[in-house]
Amino acid sequence: GNTQSKDPLKQADAMRRLGLTTTLGDPSGRAPLVHPQQGSDTCAIVAQQQILMAHGLVTTADPVKTEALLAKEAKDRGFYNHGTPPAYQADILVDRGLLVVKQRGVPLATLDAAVRRGGMIIASVDARHLWSVKAPDTLGHAIVITGAEISRLDGKTLGYYINDSGSAPILKIKFDNGQI
């Protein structure tokens, strides 16, 4: 069957259908929180917006308008100017009372532990790997990790579910031996 497929998505789907994996987090429930970012540089704004929406701290009625309001707020506060510097990537969340842990260069085991606790995680990634873009320079991008698929056989993380405001389809699963 597809459990032996070379395509990691087909392999994961087959394992899930056979009951060999379990899903952590709520990727399906969190998928509607993302929308295509309106600015070429608002990925971190939209990532924070998703978490605020999940906590009921901003409206879900007009996500494009909310993105614009959050971008203006972030710009006015110095958190955003042609992108969001990593140091400010969760400051809109902090301003609204959410507990945030910021880390850079996180080992995969640390990321995995955070996902297993069920939180939504903003991750800074090189979008070249997500979008199969051949470019000489890193394409800095923020995504939200919404869950993980875990093997019931050995407890290993097989892959992560992400909300990506910069590409379609919006809900993806990336299985690359831990590389996102």
Q: What is the pLDDT along the chain (180 residues), one digit of tens a residue?
A: 566 777 777 887 888 889 999 999 899 999 999 999 998 899 999 999 999 999 999 988 999 999 999 999 999 999 999 899 988 999 999 999 999 999 888 888 888 899 988 889 999 998 888 888 888 888 889 999 999 999 999 999 988 999 999 964 333 444 344 443
The sign of the dihedral angle between the CA atoms of 26, 58, 142, 112 is negative
Looking at the chain, list the stretches that DSSP marks H as alpha helix, in order from N- to C-terminal side: 8-17, 27-30, 43-54, 63-77, 91-95, 108-116, 127-131
Are the CB atoms for 92 and 52 separated by under 8 Å?
Answer: yes
pTM comes to 0.85
